[in-house]
Structure 1
Amino acid sequence: MTDFTGIVERYLAPWNETDPVKRRELIEQVFSDDATYTDPLGAVRGTAGLDQFIAAAQQQFGGLSFSLGGKVDGHHDIARFTWHLGPEGAEEPLAVGFDVIVVEDDRIRQVHGFLDKVPG
């Protein structure tokens, strides 16, 4: 049985890692080489594209961190989960999203992201 919660925790780690070398290492560990990421703000393919997309998000939301917003629900090779973005320890997140991932060989092959709440 796939440990979807563990995979999602590994998925969130690069979003919070600001050291470019460490971030790229984390991306390469959790994503397949040809992984795709699609959300309302962009669509990228491959670990280099993911690295650039995440770096841009970090510049836009500096000082904020991503966290799991509840239980991960998964079956077969797919899982869904809610994430929060905000200052650590904040009662209310600034942004909330919902992602669906497709997993192959314990690495993420696809991410389909949705934004439920965005900063004004």
Structure 2
Amino acid sequence: MTSIPAALADRYFGMWNTADADARAAIIAETWVDEGSFVDPSFEVSGHDGLSKMVETAHDLFPGYRFTRTGDIDEHHNRLRWTWELAADGQPPVAGGTDVVTLHPNGKIIEVIGFLNFAPAH
């Protein structure tokens, strides 16, 4: 049986890895509250449209790359934390980081704060 945090993480990474805008919008609607926000050193967005445009930008910058959760999910109260990497199939990762996720009582994401552990130089 899949845990609720793992299922949420799967949908979250599915959002990042879905190129089709309509499919991505459906994942976002299922996973995030309407006013959900994401902030890391590269992005600061809110709302479903902002989230989708952020992912589209990531696809433009890293075509053919996928985000993958690494390690376990830490959980306490209404917070989750997981680590991730960005890599092309069969290649070493080009970026990786840690996300801290705040959940609404309904189980949807309110906010993600991302920290980069390593990333390409700009």
Normalising by the smaller structure, the TM-score range is over 0.9
Q: 1:93 offset after TM fit, Å?
A: 1.3
Between the aligned partners of 2:76 and 2:89, the Cα distance in structure 1 is 30
Between the aligned partners of 2:90 and 2:110, the Cα distance in structure 1 is 31
Q: 1:29-108 counterparts in 2 under 5 A? A: 29-90=30-91, 92-104=92-104, 105-108=106-109
Letter of the aligned partner of 2:101 in structure 1? Answer: I
Equivalence for 2:10: 9
Q: Are positions 1:111 and 2:116 aligned together?
A: no
What fraction of aligned residue pairs are identical, expressed as a percent?
32
TM-score, reference length from structure 1: 0.93
TM-score, reference length from structure 2: 0.91
RMSD (Å) for aligned C-alpha atoms: 1.2
Aligned residues: 118
Between the aligned partners of 2:84 and 2:38, the Cα distance in structure 1 is 15
Between the aligned partners of 2:74 and 2:7, the Cα distance in structure 1 is 12
| SS of match in other structure, 1:24 | helix
1:71-111 deviations in Å (ceiling 9; x for gaps):
01011100101011001243x31110110000111110000
Between the aligned partners of 1:88 and 1:69, the Cα distance in structure 2 is 15
Q: Which runs of 5+ in 2 are unaligned?
A: none
Q: Runs ≥4 in structure 1, deviation > 2 angstroms? A: none
Q: Which runs of 5+ in 1 are unaligned?
A: none
Between the aligned partners of 2:4 and 2:76, the Cα distance in structure 1 is 10
| SS of match in other structure, 1:71 | strand
| SS of match in other structure, 2:72 | coil
